[in-house]
Amino acid sequence: MALLNENYLKLPGSYLFAEIAKRVTQFKAENPEANIIRLGIGDVTKPLTPTVIESLHKAVDEMANAETFRGYGPEQGYNFLIKKIIETDYIPRGITLDEDEVFVSDGSKSDVGNIQEIFGVHNKVAITDPVYPVYLDTNVMAGRTGTISNGVFENVTYLPCNAENKFIPELPKEKVDLIYLCVPNNPTGTTLSRSELKKWVDYAKANNSIILFDAAYEAYIQDPELPHSIYEIEGAKDVAIEFRSFSKTAGFTGTRCAFTVVPKTVMGLTSKGEPHPLNKLWNRRQTTKFNGVPYIIQKGAEAVYSPEGQAEIKGIVSYYMDNARIIKEGLDSIGLETFGGVNAPYIWLKTPKGMDSWSFFDKLLREVHIVGTPGTGFGPAGEGYFRLTAFGNKEATIEAVERIKTKLKL
Amino acid sequence: MALLNENYLKLPGSYLFAEIAKRVTQFKAENPEANIIRLGIGDVTKPLTPTVIESLHKAVDEMANAETFRGYGPEQGYNFLIKKIIETDYIPRGITLDEDEVFVSDGSKSDVGNIQEIFGVHNKVAITDPVYPVYLDTNVMAGRTGTISNGVFENVTYLPCNAENKFIPELPKEKVDLIYLCVPNNPTGTTLSRSELKKWVDYAKANNSIILFDAAYEAYIQDPELPHSIYEIEGAKDVAIEFRSFSKTAGFTGTRCAFTVVPKTVMGLTSKGEPHPLNKLWNRRQTTKFNGVPYIIQKGAEAVYSPEGQAEIKGIVSYYMDNARIIKEGLDSIGLETFGGVNAPYIWLKTPKGMDSWSFFDKLLREVHIVGTPGTGFGPAGEGYFRLTAFGNKEATIEAVERIKTKLKL
């Protein structure tokens, strides 16, 4: 008889954003006239830039002629894109990478979800808390955790990040094998300094651990002192895999392109302690279960690296970071306690009067028709916090902040 | 210490098509003047059709304006495409499906590779032999097999398909849980009749097995008596998951769009025998580890279902099937024994004089500069066979057949 993967049954009912969608749909049904502003799910609102659009059109035309048509491409991505990624995102920061260390994919969500497949089931996983749910859920599905009780899975090391520790995770007391770090952080909007990252790299080297470094928001870093890549830290190329995305930088949330760096010097161990390059395993995973990103889309991503493309995405980042400033200043002005929003497009706030996260979600939706994300959706330490995103359009963001300032009953 | 997934180390050295690429590259380096014709990897050569191109351009333009821009879409695919799939591919064959039973994805390779994740590790897997390598390799990676010896993995049920049984797999003697069927078949180019499929559905119902039905080549069926979908067989909606693709029909190998049907009536069992709908598990898998197909690409796929689009893909299928006829007739005329090529774009041939598959590969490459695929790359029962594909352009296909007829030393 066909047995299902019972690990899936350990997962609590519904995915965070599905629950949000459900509550919003219900509210809309009951209040059809309400003008809802969404600062919840981290989706962007600015369209693709002219340079990307032009490149997409050209690529579509190439697909119309047998001479320029492209069928199967390399599963790892086309070299034209990989070269640009290395030249633009890494070389200027003193990081050299071989072309076969960069894997183009359809999204960081896919890659951070799939990467755990190349590791054994008996690894101890550490996640910050709160955390992007995909890191945890995919490890639950793979059987690396026990069951959940009170929102906490057995056999997972939670690293609480809260106002008290300034959202800087402490090194785990027990030995862990796989460490997920998201820097700048989703959802807290906070970042880690060079010296903080160095601690993690040193820990990983000392313990033969692997750091899974999600840098999807690196373009939002404003402070020139902060590192954008884990590989700016000495030794990281021996212990870290890095994930990057075009989603939040170039507006690719619905266009789907990202990449993952797996240096050939990062090793996983067999149970007998023999090292094998994880690059080879990931390459095998991708060539077996993935067929590459559409040629058209890779040409769109390539255009992001032209001088015009780079200028355009700088404009996008400034636009959203101005939203972040508006939100942060507005909330601060009425005495709410906020974090993030300076080197990241997320504003993390402490719910007023110790209100729980979902109650604050409902309050914000009902009183001012604004959708945010309850902190508890990101883990137990997110309880009592709430996330707003800077990805709305400016007018809506200003209107949302105005409503919160004038109409929210605090 | 971070343990790797040791199941990966069970996989033999290199992926079939990578080995082919290596040998071809080496041959080209040594014979730079050779005009190589590729009838090996199943990649298409006809460009995207005008209707698809027009739709892609329109969608790109939509992405350029904030009002029509699309960010994150539903992970399962847009309803506009799912509706068309159901209306065009299923309703006319008497099959009704709910919209949430169809999952749009970036490729059948991804889906047939990922589907095994929702099943427990302790399922017995049956594959036909020869077989599309992804079915087997992904189960090796997941730990459902033992190690390999003489090209055969322990704890896998191989169902040999050869000239003697007309490439029709027999029902397994032992009980199996997951059964991969590819109909029309890659690589043998053969098909299964309604009554043959009925046997499998009945077997699955009797044994609580699940059929993973890869119908990527259904559009190539010419015989009106043959079913295109497993759901044309009574009872299949209780036991089968079906995979379809735009790759070979609409030339989407480099454009990436496919879909998978998981009826809500297909159940997996817990170890205690409790049934759960696999649709829910697959939905959880896709919403957690996938972020949908690019909006632009889904609009391109939608255009395939317009009357013009349908006419265009019929033209493409005819073009390739004419190639299949040319290859088959040519090889038959010099006494080679061929199979398939009538309801499928693959010609499967018996290597002459009992030559092994890789020797015939090298012979064909060296003597007539043609790249095919060695049968043994698809499994032990593929030894002594060889695959040619009908996806080349007509002139090259005619030239290839001419070379084989006049220059190959048999």
pLDDT per position as a tens digit, A260-314: 999 999 999 999 999 999 999 999 999 999 999 999 999 999 999 999 999 999 9
Please tell me the predicted confidence (pLDDT) of residue A40.
85
Residue B5 binned pLDDT confidence (cut-offs 50, 70, 90): very high
Please tell me the predicted confidence (pLDDT) of residue B13.
73
Please tell me the predicted confidence (pLDDT) of residue B389.
97
Provide the percentage of residues in chain B whose pLDDT is more than 90: 96
Name the CATH topology of A13-46+309-407. Aspartate Aminotransferase, domain 1 (3.90.1150)
Contacts of A270 in chain B (CB under 8 A): 3-4, 6, 9
Residue A116 binned pLDDT confidence (cut-offs 50, 70, 90): very high
Equal CATH topology for A13-46+309-407 and A53-306: no
Helix, strand, coil: what percent of chain B each, to 5? 45, 15, 40
Q: For the whole model, what pTM was predicted?
A: 0.97
Please tell me the predicted confidence (pLDDT) of residue A14.
66
Q: Which of residues 209-268 of A touch B (CB under 8 A)?
A: 209-210, 251, 253-256, 268
pLDDT in tens, B56-80: 999 999 999 999 999 999 999 999 9
Q: Cα–Cα distance between A165 and A255 in angstroms, integer?
A: 37
pLDDT in tens, B78-95: 999 999 999 999 999 999
Contacts of A256 in chain B (CB under 8 A): 291-294
Position B15 pLDDT exceeds 80: no
Binary contact (A297, B292; C-beta < 8 A):
no
Contacts of A251 in chain B (CB under 8 A): 69, 71
ipTM of this complex > 0.90?
yes
Give the domain ranges of chain B. 7-47+308-407, 53-306
Q: Measured between CB atoms, does A163 come within 8 Å of chain B?
A: no
Please tell me the predicted confidence (pLDDT) of residue B40.
85
Superfamily of domain B7-47+308-407, CATH level 4: Aspartate Aminotransferase, domain 1 (3.90.1150.10)
Asked whether B4 and B10 are in contact (CB, 8 A), the reply is no
Q: Cα–Cα distance between A336 and A329 in angstroms, integer?
A: 10
Binary contact (A4, B41; C-beta < 8 A):
no
- The C-alpha of A365 sits at a distance from chain B's nearest C-alpha, in angstroms, of 21
- The C-alpha of A204 sits at a distance from chain B's nearest C-alpha, in angstroms, of 9
In the A/B pair of chains, how many CB contacts fall below 8 A?
A: 264
Position A29 pLDDT exceeds 80: yes
Asked whether A221 and A255 are in contact (CB, 8 A), the reply is no
Q: Is A150 helix (H, G, I), strand (E, B) or coil?
A: coil
Residue B1 binned pLDDT confidence (cut-offs 50, 70, 90): confident
Residue A41 binned pLDDT confidence (cut-offs 50, 70, 90): confident
Q: Measured between CB atoms, does A184 come within 8 Å of chain B?
A: no
Backbone dihedral angles phi then psi of residue B47, each to the nearest 5 degrees: -70, 175
Contacts of A2 in chain B (CB under 8 A): 119, 123, 177-178, 208-210, 268-269
Q: Cα–Cα distance between B178 and A5 in angstroms, integer?
A: 13
The amino acid sitting at A260 is T
Q: Measured between CB atoms, does A292 come within 8 Å of chain B?
A: yes
Position B160 pLDDT exceeds 80: yes
Q: Cα–Cα distance between B78 and B353 in angstroms, integer?
A: 53
Architecture of the domain defined by A53-306: 3-Layer(aba) Sandwich (3.40)
Binary contact (B1, A45; C-beta < 8 A):
no
